[in-house]
Chains A and B, each alone.
Chain A
């Protein structure tokens, strides 16, 4: 909210003026109201390994993060550019592999990656779209420079919070929306549905779209149900689908009904027990065969994990140059690869100041934040790294930007990141906003909800405003 000299940043001016004469009790009361509403509306996520409460509300902070249109444009252009390149990359590695032939990415990095799906080689997906929904995690440093922290190209979650947070803010503070030109995000699900319909199998003029969920005990079930409802399509589980003659049907009260496009929130491994993990009870036997026969479209496509792996991440700027002939609009965070001897030595010598992550980890699990860890934790992690260095990457601890956040002691700065959701189908596009995640503990850099992070509404101000 404030720049280095302590002056209010221009995009926060109106908000700051409004906030100035609000007593702390007013903010406290609004925060309580928001917490109550979230619990009553049942906007929850499940935490694995937590026996006490199966469901919890994700902590929501009522102070918005505000972005100027210029900053948003950088984020938006940069994220779209990245997704365009990643789609071309996926098409390439499952077909001609030009990027390997050109010597830009080593063959082993692709073919030796366990997320690479040889079954997908030579298979054409509708519209050449592999990543229909991408979540690109972006951070800003205190020097006002944006970095991409990671790409989420499998089944990225959190978009329902972007939409619900906005509804909550409009419910709590309608007067702010009349004073500030906040760009709307509500049309996200319309764009999603339009894109999903655009990638239906050939010859289907009025496709039936469904959302496939692992079930009501999945941590993101609320979101699956929310998206299905907002798009007006069925929310199905594996048991609701059956495959006959390489065609997918759902079991309805009026008999079997054909399904054309599946927005699936089930991981590759669990989609089809006949093709992947045979012990999967979540999947649909024969689904992969129907997919390969071009009788049904899966969004995202199978095998996208090879492109969002943290060891592939370091090649994305090169992909952008190779496929698009453009310079990356948003940079990567400098990344050390621990399978390289030089990098490994450097990292082991500097663990207290670095962030170390598992190559295929997600959700903030299995990572070390050097500056926030004890000597014992660092020593333990060193042991794990040495057992399998190739399983880790390391990054410098960025001086992440902060955003004013309501906490016990009043309003104080907390570190934030931003995940905008890029949609591909007919076009590559995103709605002006995203999920701002905030590390609620003072000084913490970990924003994952499973690790005590919360969320905020993200406001992009239309141009022509202060």
Chain B
């Protein structure tokens, strides 16, 4: 298929997946902000739950440019949900996904386009008053539902062609990236004091994290035990039966690339295989040893090498003279 078309489909699903994960993150943040714990020291404003979505997405400076002064829930919500000037806002993600779909509407099914277009029309009609009036959690549920629905329609209607593979590739690349960033949250989250480690706040933060990845019930089923950092790490990094874990994402990415790659694009497959093996044969103790934060940073660096290679091989290719002289 056309490289540009593949690129649009890949980004269509990345934008949808990003919207879903951002909604998850914001929802968790919102729930955490309802807990009766606050940090009193003024120089520790980064520990405010509402700083999290900005830190995780690397958007802190962009936020301060638009909203100088202390971080407030209202401003973060405006910035992350409705701000067209923020390329990672839910508004921008859904707009971009719909624009990708519109450009490639010939490559997707009409059901898919109808669905994503309806999401966009609904998103466009949102304003802050309505968002608050209807309840922010309800809105985040809506975003998640639209994402699930679009994935379901794609699964249920689309021809299993190359375009389908690039759509799935985009989903899992984005999900791996977002899960790694979400997991890293705990690194950024300061507890009110060292004495609180293992305390109520700690427990709520971990369980919120699990919930944001739809993995809370899975944790209960698998471990039937207290929530500990080591077990959360194992669940969301190494277990491949948890659909949003890094291992599960890399399973899919590696499978898809094995199918897509030929002799000229063998490097993408190799990089994916390497990263997959690291998770497949990984050990929780090892991760704790290097430190979860350091481990996740390493993972994100390798993932970014892989996406650069996917670009070179498929999405934005340059040809040699030899390739066009046949």
Q: Are B4 and A240 in contact (CB under 8 A)?
A: yes
Q: Are A225 and B105 in contact (CB under 8 A)?
A: yes
Q: Pick the residue among A216, A228, A237 that contacts B99 (CB under 8 A).
A: A216
Taken together as a complex, chains A and B put the C-alpha atoms of A234 and B163 apart, in Å, by: 12
Closest chain B CB from A228 CB (angstroms):
5
Query: Number of A residues whose C-beta is below 8 Å from B?
Result: 28
Q: Does B140 contact A (CB under 8 A)?
A: no
Q: Are A229 and B117 in contact (CB under 8 A)?
A: no
Closest chain A CB from B153 CB (angstroms):
14
Taken together as a complex, chains A and B put the C-alpha atoms of A222 and B106 apart, in Å, by: 9
Taken together as a complex, chains A and B put the C-alpha atoms of A358 and B260 apart, in Å, by: 53
Closest chain B CB from A44 CB (angstroms):
9
Return the CB mask of B80-121 against A: 1 if under 8 Å, else 0: 000000000000000000010011111100100110011001
Closest chain A CB from B147 CB (angstroms):
18
Return the CB mask of A237-280 against B: 1 if under 8 Å, else 0: 10110101101011111111000000000000000000000000
Q: Are A253 and B110 in contact (CB under 8 A)?
A: no
Contacts of B110 in A (CB 8 A): 41
Taken together as a complex, chains A and B put the C-alpha atoms of A244 and B323 apart, in Å, by: 10
Q: Does B1 contact A (CB under 8 A)?
A: yes
Of all chain B residues, which has the CB nearest A258? B326
Q: Are A255 and B319 in contact (CB under 8 A)?
A: yes
- Interchain Cβ contacts within 8 Å, total number: 76
Which residues in window 201-242 of B have CB below 8 A to A? none
Which residues in window 48-104 of B have CB below 8 A to A? 99, 102-104
Closest chain B CB from A41 CB (angstroms):
6
Closest chain B CB from A406 CB (angstroms):
24
Q: Which of B103, B104, B264 has most A Cβ within 10 Å? A: B103
Q: Are A242 and B1 in contact (CB under 8 A)?
A: no
Q: Does A16 contact B (CB under 8 A)?
A: no
Of all chain B residues, which has the CB nearest A39? B121
Q: Does B254 contact A (CB under 8 A)?
A: no
Contacts of B319 in A (CB 8 A): 242, 251, 255-256
Of all chain A residues, which has the CB nearest B105? A225
Q: Pick the residue among B3, B166, B324 that contacts A244 (CB under 8 A).
A: B324
Contacts of A40 in B (CB 8 A): 114, 117-118, 121
Q: Are B314 and A253 in contact (CB under 8 A)?
A: yes
**Interchain residue pairs with CB less than 8 A apart (15):** A40-B117, A42-B117, A216-B99, A229-B105, A235-B5, A239-B4, A242-B324, A244-B325, A245-B324, A245-B325, A251-B319, A252-B1, A255-B264, A255-B323, A256-B324
| Known contacts A251-B319, A254-B262, A256-B324; 18 further A-B pairs (Cβ under 8 A) | A39-B121, A40-B121, A41-B110, A41-B113, A229-B106, A229-B107, A235-B106, A242-B319, A245-B324, A245-B325, A250-B2, A251-B2, A251-B317, A252-B3, A253-B1, A253-B2, A253-B260, A255-B323
